[in-house]
């Protein structure tokens, strides 16, 4: 989905939402968001490494470099990360951490 | 198949979607019940055994389970096990007929995190619903929905099994779900359990299936549990994985702890093992003979020459099995009519031999149960 790319800015700091859990699988990982109950596939082991380490890096771009991902592959990773942002699996620094299990 | 689909078909460390039926007891006797429920089985899992399974589910990182039955709320330890699941970080979506959702239990459920409710309704009015689910059930389920709304439960799921009689009501279901702030879920009617006998009269016609496909295509937000993947042969795939997940991404634990390949094949032929055996559920999932064989590449069989095979994968295993077709035959509801031809050929050859239910917990006829047409093969 090209429309989702705009939500992801590789020059910013991103991290996994605190209510997201990852389960390693042969294709990469299964990600589950306990907050919005969404389930999604991380379709490559590199993508798994990336989302797990993004929080420790100042920007997404720095995380790409730290994970040793070939710059040619960056656009496809950005697309995958953008859809994770849409599903709130990844959050930026404006995100207020979850504190209260109140139902919506 | 895409590479992701190939990898999913080859099996995962843990299921994506685990259905766990908590009891065979049910106060209703719906004519399409996939598990032929009614009477409790004396061998059902104890509270302690249930908690042991929850521990293993948490360990296997199965993030949420679909609880069903029977009517799960009839278990006296229903809330105890629910709370144990939540405590262990296992999300729960439970399927209920709503009869035990009172003002009080709705409040209790609304206070629990990680809990999602799926409430069954099979008709937009009393006549349509009660013909399937029993007299007075429509009024009761609307009352249950009102209780959930009054308790501010939030969004629940309203689940409808599509039949010849109710499929034309899809717009009205959507409106009703919206009225309650609920999500609509439509699923395919399979000829499982008591459905073995009723499916032939009640399943949607081929024109109704095409209409439903177009309706769903325009509404990707309507949940389907991926159950209509046989319709993806019509063109653009419906949202979802579009594959038979039996033993590959889904499976079922029944109330006595037996593990089956999917919720729609409660039959000895698809029993992989028991959680009561050494190694428990994880051992059955990871190394049972049945699941290992289901993860092998499958032959397209009679569908080999069809250009749509990649889209529908030959359809639903359970639906073929319980109509008496071989597993590599076309789906009985194949959109090109090949399944109907295959069923007609069986009839011409002396009649289809339909499997019967391995564990029937139906109440005797006359105990709140309508007589349903029985076809003896």
ipTM above 0.85, yes or no: no
pLDDT of residue B282: 97
Query: Which has the closest alpha carbon to A74: A59, A85, A87, A60?
Result: A60
Smallest CA–CA distance, residue B77 to chain A, in Å, is 24
Host H or E run for residue B271? strand B271-274
pLDDT of residue A101: 46
- The C-alpha angle with vertex B243 and arms to B239 and B246, in degrees rounded to 5, equals 130
Average pLDDT over residues A2-20: 82
pLDDT of residue B368: 52
Q: What is the DSSP string of B223-260?
A: B-TTTTGGGGGGSSPPSS--S--BTTTEEEE-TTSEEE
Closest CB from A21, A23, A27 relative to B7:
A27
Q: How far apart are CA B373 and CA B201, in angstroms?
A: 9
Contact call for B113 and A26, based on CB within 8 A: no
Q: Is the pLDDT of residue A39 over 50?
A: yes
Smallest CA–CA distance, residue B71 to chain A, in Å, is 23
pLDDT of residue A58: 96
Per-residue pLDDT of chain B (377 residues; tens, 9 = 90+): 567 888 888 889 999 999 999 999 999 999 999 999 999 999 999 999 999 999 999 999 999 999 999 999 999 999 999 999 999 999 999 999 999 999 999 999 999 988 999 999 999 999 999 999 999 999 999 999 999 999 999 999 999 999 999 999 999 999 999 999 999 999 999 999 999 999 999 999 999 999 999 999 999 999 999 999 999 999 999 998 888 999 999 999 999 999 999 999 999 999 999 999 999 999 999 999 999 999 998 889 999 999 999 999 999 999 999 999 999 999 999 999 999 999 999 999 988 889 999 899 999 876 555 555 545 44
Smallest CA–CA distance, residue A102 to chain B, in Å, is 8
Contact call for A26 and B7, based on CB within 8 A: yes
Contact B261, B245 (CB under 8 A): no
Contact call for A103 and B152, based on CB within 8 A: yes
Confidence of residue A11 (pLDDT cuts 50, 70, 90): very high
pLDDT of residue B1: 53
Chains A and B form CB pairs within 8 A to the count of 44
This prediction's pTM: 0.91
Contact call for A34 and B7, based on CB within 8 A: no
Q: Is the pLDDT of residue A3 over 60?
A: no
Q: What is the DSSP string of A81-103?
A: HHHHHHTTSEE-TTPPPP-----
The token pair at B52 is 């042991």
pLDDT of residue A47: 95
B interface residues, A as partner, C-beta within 8 Å: 3-4, 7-8, 10, 12-14, 16, 61, 63-64, 89, 91, 110, 113-114, 116, 152-155
Contact call for A103 and B110, based on CB within 8 A: yes
Residue with tokens 């006549």: B127
């Amino acid at each position: 989905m090209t429309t989702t790319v705009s939500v992801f800015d590789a020059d910013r700091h991103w991290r996994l939402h605190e209510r997201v859990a990852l389960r390693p699988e042969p294709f990469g990982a299964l990600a589950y968001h306990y907050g919005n109950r969404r389930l999604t596939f991380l379709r490559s082991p590199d993508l798994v490494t990336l989302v797990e380490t993004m929080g420790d890096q100042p920007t997404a771009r720095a995380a790409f470099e730290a994970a040793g991902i070939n710059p040619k592959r960056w656009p496809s990773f950005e697309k995958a990360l953008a859809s994770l942002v849409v599903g709130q699996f990844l959050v930026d620094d404006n995100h207020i951490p979850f504190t209260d299990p109140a139902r919506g | 198949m895409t590479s992701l689909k190939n990898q999913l078909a080859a099996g995962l460390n843990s299921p994506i979607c685990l259905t766990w039926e908590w009891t065979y007891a049910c106060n209703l006797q719906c004519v399409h019940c996939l598990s032929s429920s009614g009477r409790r089985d004396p061998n059902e899992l104890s509270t302690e055994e249930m908690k042991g399974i929850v521990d293993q589910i948490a360990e296997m990182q199965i993030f949420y389970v679909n609880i069903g039955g029977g009517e799960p709320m009839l278990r006296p330890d229903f809330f105890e096990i629910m709370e144990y699941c939540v405590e262990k970080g296992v999300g729960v979506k439970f399927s209920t007929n709503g009869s035990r959702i009172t003002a009080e239990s709705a409040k209790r459920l609304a206070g629990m995190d990680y809990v999602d409710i799926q409430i069954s309704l099979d008709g937009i009015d009393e006549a349509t619903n009660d013909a399937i689910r029993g007299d007075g059930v429509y009024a009761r389920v609307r009352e249950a929905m009102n209780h959930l709304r009054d308790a501010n439960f939030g969004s629940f799921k309203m689940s409808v099994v599509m039949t010849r009689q109710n499929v034309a009501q899809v717009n009205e279901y959507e409106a009703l779900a919206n009225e309650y702030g609920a999500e609509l879920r439509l699923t395919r009617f399979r000829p499982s359990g008591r459905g073995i006998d009723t499916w032939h009269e009640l399943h949607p016609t081929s024109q109704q299936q095409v209409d439903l496909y177009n309706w769903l295509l325009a509404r990707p937000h309507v949940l389907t549990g991926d159950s209509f993947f046989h319709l993806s042969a019509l063109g653009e795939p419906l949202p979802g994985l579009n594959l038979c997940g039996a033993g590959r991404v889904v499976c079922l634990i029944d109330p006595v702890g037996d593990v089956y390949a999917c919720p729609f094949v409660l039959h000895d032929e698809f029993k992989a093992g028991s959680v009561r055996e050494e190694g428990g559920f994880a051992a059955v999932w990871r190394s049972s003979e049945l699941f290992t064989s289901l993860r092998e590449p499958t032959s397209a069989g009679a569908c080999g020459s069809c250009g749509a095979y990649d889209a529908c994968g030959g359809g639903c295993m359970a639906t073929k099995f319980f109509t008496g077709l071989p597993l590599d035959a076309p789906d009985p509801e194949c959109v090109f009519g090949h399944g109907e031809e295959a069923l007609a050929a069986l009839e011409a050859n002396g009649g289809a031999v339909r499997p019967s239910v391995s564990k029937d917990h139906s109440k005797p006829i006359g105990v709140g149960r309508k007589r349903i047409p029985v076809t003896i093969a």
